[in-house]
Amino acid sequence: MAPRVKESDSSKSAPVSNHVKSLELAKLREIIPKQAFEKSLTKSFFYMFFDMSMWLVLTFAMSELCDTEMWNKMGLVLQTIVALVYWNLTGFFLWCMFVVGHDCGHGTFSNSELLNDVCGHILHGCLMVPFYPWQLSHRRHHMYHNHVDKDYSFPWYTEDNLKINKVNALFNRNRFVMLPLPFIGWAMYLIGFPDGSHFLPIPFQKLWAETEKIEYFKCLFSTMTVLAFAATVGYFNSFSLGKIAFYYGASWIGFSWWLTTVTYLQHHGPETTSYKEGEWKFVDAAFETVDRKFGYGIDNLHHNITDGHVVHHLFFTKIPHYNLMLATRALQKHMVDSKMDHLYRFEKTYDFMIRIFYYMYTFGWMSHTVEKRAHVKSQ
């Protein structure tokens, strides 16, 4: 039986000192069962083909329905309802595909780097995401999670940098512009905000400024893969913009909403803390991540990326998604036994569909910062 883990109170901003004690990564690895680090190619391919099959079967069924007389007799209201259900289901399974592709990017899909790259390009290509540049930026996010300057994906706003950065200050004062971000944030990220373009290696951007030139060529290869998949989508939709938007575009927006919602809520809340240079430590920052239970069977369907994310940040190149809960239960027990469970954040977030907009408007990209701290290591 899993230990009882105290749910964090997101309605209160806890003192920063409660969240700055460190644990040894080697000790944390010892307490996690060895099975959690084992990769299963059978399981990886099962989840890959299951998610892809759900997307393709739903798309085929919808296209078949639209070619029948029944569809024409439904009327606009019923057609809209059916289309919304279709877009939401396919968007969700596109998101599930991304989570499996996420394993490919971390090297936890298989023990073969080549197979990881091939499957990663297939899965990400279906999502119009250049695999190698995403892998590069996402790896840097994990290497420097919650570092106020070096983190990727999140432009951390603090009281200090708002004073010196007028663009950040303007964005922070006008929080209403955050509200559409769950729908368009992922597209903005791929295009270049805030780290740099994932389609073209532009030398002066953060993602590419100090990157080896081989990554430039890998970026172009991944972009060509995306273009090939885009052409495939166009071909199967007779290169009709209307059909492409109906059968793929709307689903992609749904996928984008899931990706932005999950990743934002994994890293943001009233207690979110970022660290300056000299104060940042890998393990401390990993415990700024929040494990959230979405409920309704969603957590299992999208591979426990919501309720197993803390341990993922601790061992992001070691534990495949289907072992996250085994590792999380061990981590929870260790934190309780060590009387360090106040560092571990878990929250039931059944209202995630509303919470994402409330948090984006209320907190935006703001975070607390830590100036000085005492380090307490596990025994």
Is the pLDDT at 375 greater than 70? The verdict is: no
Beta bridge partners of 274: 369
Is the pLDDT at 371 greater than 60? The verdict is: no
pTM score of the predicted model? 0.92
Mean pLDDT, residues 234-248 taken together: 98
- Cβ–Cβ under 8 Å, residues 331 and 156: no
Q: Percentage of the chain surpassing pLDDT 90?
A: 84
Which amino acid, one-letter code, is at 348?
Answer: K
pLDDT at 13: 37
Max mean pLDDT range (23-32, 146-155, 162-171, 224-233): 224-233
Mean pLDDT, residues 311-330 taken together: 98
The tokens for 244 are: 């492409």
Is the pLDDT at 379 greater than 80? The verdict is: no
pLDDT at 16: 34
Quickly state the pLDDT bin for 7 (edges 50, 70, 90): low
Estimate to the nearest angstrom the gap between the alpha carbon of 370 and the chain centroid: 25
Pairwise CA distance, residues 120 & 55, whole Å: 17
**Which 3-state string (H, E, C) describes the chain?**
CCCCCCCCCCCCCCCHHHHCCCCCHHHHHHHCCHHHHCCCHHHHHHHHHHHHHHHHHHHHHHHHHHCCHHHHHHCHHHHHHHHHHHHHHHHHHHHHHHHHHHHHHHCCCCCCHHHHHHHHHHHHHHCCCCHHHHHHHHHHHHHCCCECCCCCCCCCECHHHHHHCHHHHHHHHCHHHHCCHHHHHHHHHHHCCCCCCCCCCCCCCCCCCCCCHHHHHHHHHHHHHHHHHHHHHHHHCCCCHHHHHHHHHHHHHHHHHHHHHHHHHHHCCCCCEEECCCCCCHHHHHCCCEEEECCCCHHHHCCCCCCCHHHHHHCCCCCCHHHHHHHHHHHHHHHHHCCCHHHCEEEECCCHHHHHHHHHHHCCCECEEECCCCCCCCC
So where are the chain's domains? 23-370
Q: Which has more pLDDT, 125 or 375?
A: 125
**pLDDT tens-digit profile of 201-238?**
999 999 999 999 999 999 999 999 999 999 999 999 99
For the beta carbon of residue 141, count every other beta carbon within 10 angstroms: 21
Max mean pLDDT range (13-22, 42-51, 176-185): 42-51
Quickly state the pLDDT bin for 174 (edges 50, 70, 90): confident
Beta bridge partners of 275: 147, 370
pLDDT at 6: 55
Beta bridge partners of 370: 275
pLDDT at 19: 36
The tokens for 365 are: 């990209």
Pairwise CA distance, residues 121 & 118, whole Å: 5
Is the pLDDT at 264 greater than 80? The verdict is: yes
Is the pLDDT at 12 greater than 70? The verdict is: no
- 10 Å CB burial of residue 227 (0-12, 13-18, 19+) is middle
**pLDDT tens-digit profile of 90-109?**
999 999 999 999 999 999 99
- Cβ–Cβ under 8 Å, residues 120 and 104: yes
Question: What is the crossing angle of helices 76-106 and 250-267, to 10°?
Answer: 50
The tokens for 286 are: 């990993």
Q: Percentage of the chain surpassing pLDDT 70?
A: 92
Pairwise CA distance, residues 306 & 291, whole Å: 6
Is the pLDDT at 378 greater than 60? The verdict is: no
pLDDT at 195: 96
Is the pLDDT at 165 greater than 80? The verdict is: no
Mean pLDDT, residues 27-50 taken together: 97
pLDDT at 136: 98
pLDDT at 310: 98
Contacts of 107 (CB under 8 A, 6+ apart): 113, 116, 317
pLDDT at 5: 56
Pairwise CA distance, residues 148 & 150, whole Å: 6
CA dihedral 68→70→76→79, nearest 10 degrees, is: -70
Q: What angle do CA 210, 155, 121 make, to 5 degrees?
A: 60
**pLDDT tens-digit profile of 287-307?**
999 999 999 999 999 999 999
Quick one: which of 303, 324, 309, 322 has its CA closest to 269? Answer: 309
pLDDT at 8: 58
Q: What angle do CA 37, 283, 299 make, to 5 degrees?
A: 55
Q: Which of 12-16, 95-99, 327-331 has the lowest mean pLDDT?
A: 12-16
Q: Which has more pLDDT, 171 or 116?
A: 116
Mean pLDDT, residues 318-342 taken together: 96
pLDDT at 377: 34
pLDDT at 330: 97
